[in-house]
Amino acid sequence: MSNPLLYSHQFLATGGQCNAGGTMSLPVLVQAIIDVATEHANALNIGFERLRTFNAAWVLSRLSIQMDRWPGVNEEWTMTTWIENWNRLYSDRVFEITDAQGNVIGNARTAWVAIDVDSRTPADLTQLHPETMIYAEKKCPVPRMRKLLPVALDTATVVRDYQFLYTDIDVNGHVNSVRYVEHILNLWPPALYAKYPLCGFEIAYIHECFYDQRVAIAAIETQPDDTGTAHATVDILRDGERAVAAAVTFRKKS
């Protein structure tokens, strides 16, 4: 692939990366999204080293994933990414997931902000001269993330308490983006995922959480509709305030 505005990385879904359903797990996909974004940003010289020159760091703000099919054990798959759009505050980066035959099996959309490492406030992205980095020839079918209604603790259908531990914390000193995803998935037992595998996931990172903080992870679930699709809206609440909002889509195993 010769166009530097498109970047691809090939992966193997090892058994160790797969869930009890025999398919690659969502946290592995989210980590790959973050890693491939990082690699492409480095290649474009808008990565960690460049942002460090103005005391900033990339932080994932929003993520939406739609999967038609998950890679199985020992299956090769490829992630391709490009920058779709860019403004002063957000960089919109999208992803296509393909199997070894080149079939598209999923897509993802992310929004990134650069935060000032000291003030924790957003940095101005226009200083990266981004207009030349947009790739307009491919389209991502995942819509921009919708606004998620808050989950009130007293109407939640499932709630779990959690206190952040050492391995939750990343290089930015706050809770790692992938960890929130895992804590949300842990609201449900393996038996649910066996019948209703995940097919969609959206998450908005609103406020940073830190080591030792206690949160409530609360969800409102819907019953499956005629097509066997069920939804859950999830909030991670710290002192009653929404730190993370998410939505999970399950689809009855065919």
CB of 131 vs a second copy, minimal distance in Å: 25
Query: Residues 34 to 93: which contact a second copy by CB under 8 A?
Result: 34-35, 38-39, 42, 47-49, 57-58, 73-74
DSSP letter string over 166-217? Answer: GGGB-TTSSB-HHHHHHHHHTTS-HHHHHHS-EEEEEEEE-S---TT-EEEE
121 makes contact with a second copy (CB under 8 A):
no
Contact (CB, 8 A) for 80 and 8: yes
Instruction: Give 98-164 as a DSSP string.
Output: EETT--EEEEEEEEEEEEETTT-SBPPGGGG-GGGGB--SS---SPPPPPPPPPPTTT-SEEEEEE-
Residue 139 vs 210, nearer CB to a second copy = 210
Choosing from 1, 2, 3, 15, the residue that interacts with a second copy (CB under 8 A) is 15
Among 12, 149, 153, 158, binds a second copy (CB under 8 A): 12
Binding flags for a second copy, 169-188, as an x/- string (CB under 8 A): xxxxx--xxx---x--xx-x
Q: What is the closest distance, in whole angstroms, from the C-beta atom of residue 190 to a second copy in the complex?
A: 5
Minimum distance from CB of 169 to a second copy (Å)? Answer: 5
Direct distance between the N- and C-terminal alpha carbons of the chain, in angstroms, rounded to an integer: 36
Least distance from a second copy to the Cβ atom of residue 146, Å: 25
**C-alpha atoms less than 13 angstroms from C-alpha of 148 in its C-beta half-sphere:** 29
Q: Which chain residues interact with a second copy by CB under 8 A? A: 12, 14-20, 22, 25, 27, 31, 34-35, 38-39, 42, 47-49, 57-58, 73-74, 165-167, 169-173, 176-178, 182, 185-186, 188-190, 193, 211-212
